[in-house]
Chains A and B, each alone.
Chain A
Amino acid sequence: MRIVVCMKQVPDTASRLEVRGGALQPVRSGVEGVVNPFDEFALEAALQLRDEAGGEVILLTLAAGSVEETIFHGLAMGADSAHVVTIPENATLDAHATASLLVDALKTLNADVICCGERAVDGEAAQVPSAIGELMGLAVATGVEHMQPDRECGALAVRCRTDSAVELRVLSLPCVCSFIRGDHVPRYPSLDAIFDAGAKSVTESAPTMAIPELLLHRIALSAQEDERAAEKIEGEVSDAVDVLLARIAERTDVLV
């Protein structure tokens, strides 16, 4: 089974977003790049699928600058190879353009399963996985928390979570899945894997198409006022802990 994992490098989730006077992009310089956490869930799911069903895991990323550490991290976690699509450093992409460029590369990668994070923690649009499916005419499952091969049907079985339901689905191959954390807790790269990662194949190409016109234009950007400033929870400690846990659960979908 050929499993392609789309990975995006995002600003470190621990860093503070800064927007300077009227700019349409946040300040990136001095902010460390990390792997989009949702993409790590997708990669872990892909690695588990490969380990169970055989095959290979290929990382795919669009790079407007250095993505070396993102790719290295993915290879150290256990991906077999990586493909980097280099785009101009000043390119501006919306979800449609991102998906179009990924599909341009995916056409030559012959994936059986395309795994993506449910969303990227910088843009938070959660549109790219569905757009890939739409552009390629493939089945899409979003919010996947568990994936396994369905050998009887030669397909893929997934469990998806929505706000109000848990749904089991079977997808014909090829297909696109977007992942939440679910059962796929990203593994720590082992020392062996880290020391072997540098020898794995990383290929690069430019898109075979022009950068698509934007369908969506950002017209203003400002950093959100920190409305979640410190709040003191009053009352008995045991009650306060319950309130605190409820607050965390409301606001943290990556960590729980």
Chain B
Amino acid sequence: MAIDFTLSREQKALQQTVRDFSLNVLKPIVKAADACPDPMKGFQMTKEAYKKAYELGVAFSFIPKQYGGPGASNIDLQIASEEICAVDPGFGCTLLVNGLGLMPLIWWGSEEQKKKWLTKALNDPRKEFIVGWVVSEPEGTAGFDNAAPHPVGIQVTADYDAKTDEYVINGRKMWNSNACGWDGKGADLNIVVARTDKSKGGKEGLSVFVVERGTPGFIVEGITDKLGHRLTVQPRLRFDNLRVPAANLIEGTKNNGDLAITKAFTWSGPVAGIAAVGVMRTAFEFALEWSKTFRAGGNVPIINHQNVGYLLTNMKMKIEAARYLSWRGAAYMDSFDCEGQEVGALAKIYAGELAVDVINEAMRLVGINSYLKDYPLEKCMRDALCFPIYDAGNMGMQRRRVHGIMMHDTYNPMSLAMNLKQTFFKEMHGISTESGHDVKATDGKSTAKRLKELSLN
């Protein structure tokens, strides 16, 4: 059966395990950690739950079996992530970022690099190994495609020192989840994108490095304080002549850092999508329960009123649509070695933006009580407002990528529906943020020819 939404017995067991973990281990700490005014302390309050997640194999579920990991598929990740994010998407983000960091190593690392660092990640007797994904910068990340003298996007530089066979990293980063580690001194591994060739634009000049904890020159300048997603942590970082051996450059990313950024944020797209579904699910279940019990001074629970029933219908419809688009993105990536730059973005954009909409509907349904800290909807909304703008923002990076893919001559609008591989080329990164650097637009004729070849017009 080609299209089948039935969960396998393994997936059902996975769902149950992660649901039990989320309700019994994670949930009891969420309220206090969310309310903690110190964002670092709020993050640290999740450490015991993280250790349990590590023990269960949830923290590094995506590491393939051949490197000793559980080998969860992208669909498996969907099932697990929804359960966690229905309880708290911030904690889900902490786990997701382990993958954002290590997936580029899995895709582009040499065998030696993979064995070295994946083995470390999986065999921590403290059960607290954590990985930071260090891409974004205070000046933004989206326009990483321009060269000197006016490079935009990634400004952190990595200069090669031939005398010591090292790279020297300098500059500032921001929004790098997990990067400060549990004690504020650094994650066990930080996966850092830097400009290795200042004379080139982002498509030729970026590379990805592994920075181990304790490397001199790694400075945490502060911790950002956020509206929601308060259980996950993002420091402000500075690299001050931080030296890493040349062997720490993830082999296949040399001058291909742009592809690593894009593929990592493609991989995470459906996970962020299902995270939004998890939060919507919690909001919906609360609104449903409220509707069945609250009378608003009337004789019957408010679910008996047409308007309430129709609002609930709208919410449910959107949640289901977002869930299956996210699943579709994951299934596509399972088919094509985690490629799926179009559908990954579509799932992330759609589900994340629907979450704000659906939770708004839930709040309208419940009324002013939804604004109280006593009930879950205000937290759902605070958490949901992050979905459209984090994990490669929907405007700056996700739509931009889809735009670039659609402009390309090889674009086949039916590739998702027909499950055909859509190859991603560098020129698909999308339009530049500076004039004169736009991707070559299609001439229209070749697209018509291409569509004809595909018998689609």
Contacts and interface: CB of A to CB of B under 8 A. Distances in A.
Same complex for A and B? Answer yes
Interface of A: 68-69, 72-73, 76, 188-192, 194-195, 197-198
A189 B9 contact: no
Nearest to B12: A69
A252 to B, nearest CB: 16
A194 B55 contact: no
Given A195-B70, A195-B71, A190 B56 contact: yes
Interface of B is mostly: helix
Nearest to A198: B10
Contact of A190 (B9, B12, B57): B57
Main secondary structure on A side of the interface with B: helix
Contacts of A76: 13, 17
B61 A191 contact: yes
B72 interface: yes
Contacts of A73: 13
Nearest to A189: B17
Contact of B14 (A68, A69, A194): A194
Contacts of A192: 57, 70
Contact of A72 (B9, B56, B61, B72): B9
A195 B9 contact: no
Interface string B55-92: 11110010001000011100000000000000000000
B20 interface: yes
Contacts of A195: 10, 65, 70-72
A190 B55 contact: yes
A69 B7 CA distance: 12
A41 B56 CA distance: 19
B411 interface: no
Contacts of B72: 191, 195
A85 B10 CA distance: 23
Interface of B: 9-10, 12-14, 17, 20-21, 55-58, 61, 65, 70-72
Nearest to B8: A198
Given A188-B17, A191-B17, A192-B70, A68 B9 contact: yes
A72 B13 CA distance: 8
A69 B20 CA distance: 17
B57 A198 contact: no
A190 B21 CA distance: 11
A210 to B, nearest CB: 33
Nearest to B21: A188
A195 B71 CA distance: 8
Q: Which of B10, B13, B55 is most buried by chain A, counting CB atoms within 10 A of its CB? A: B13
Given A188-B20, A192-B70, A197 B55 contact: no
A248 B368 CA distance: 34
Given A190-B55, A192-B57, 7 more contacts: A72-B9, A76-B13, A190-B17, A190-B56, A191-B56, A191-B72, A194-B13
Contacts of B14: 191, 194
Contacts of B56: 188, 190-191
User: Shortest 9 CB-CB distances between A and B: which pairs?
Assistant: A191-B57, A191-B70, A194-B13, A188-B17, A190-B57, A190-B56, A72-B9, A76-B13, A192-B70
A188 B26 CA distance: 14
Contacts of B61: 191
8 contacts: A76-B17, A188-B21, A191-B14, A191-B56, A194-B13, A195-B65, A195-B71, A197-B13
Contacts of A191: 14, 17, 56-58, 61, 70, 72
* Residue of A68, A188, A192 with most chain B CB atoms under a 10 A cut-off: A188
Contacts of A197: 10, 13
A95 B312 CA distance: 48
A76 B17 CA distance: 10
Interface-centre pick from A76, A190, A194 (highest chain B CB count, 10 A): A194
A35 to B, nearest CB: 11
A195 B10 CA distance: 6
B423 to A, nearest CB: 30
Nearest to B19: A188
A191 B70 CA distance: 6
Contacts of B55: 190
A72 B56 CA distance: 17
B28 to A, nearest CB: 15
A192 B65 CA distance: 9
A190 B72 CA distance: 12
Contact of A198 (B9, B58, B70): B9
A124 to B, nearest CB: 25
Nearest to B57: A191
A32 to B, nearest CB: 11
Contacts of A188: 17, 20-21, 56
B415 to A, nearest CB: 30
A189 B65 CA distance: 17
A194 B17 CA distance: 9
A194 B55 CA distance: 13
A123 B14 CA distance: 29
Nearest to A186: B20
B13 to A, nearest CB: 5
A194 B9 CA distance: 9
Contacts of A68: 9
A68 B9 CA distance: 9
Nearest to B10: A194
A191 B17 CA distance: 8
Contacts of A198: 9-10
Contacts of B20: 188
Query: For B21, B55, B57, which residue has the most chain A Cβ atoms within 10 angstroms?
Result: B57
A189 B56 CA distance: 7
A73 B72 CA distance: 18
Contacts of A69: 9, 12
Contacts of B71: 195
Contacts of B9: 68-69, 72, 198
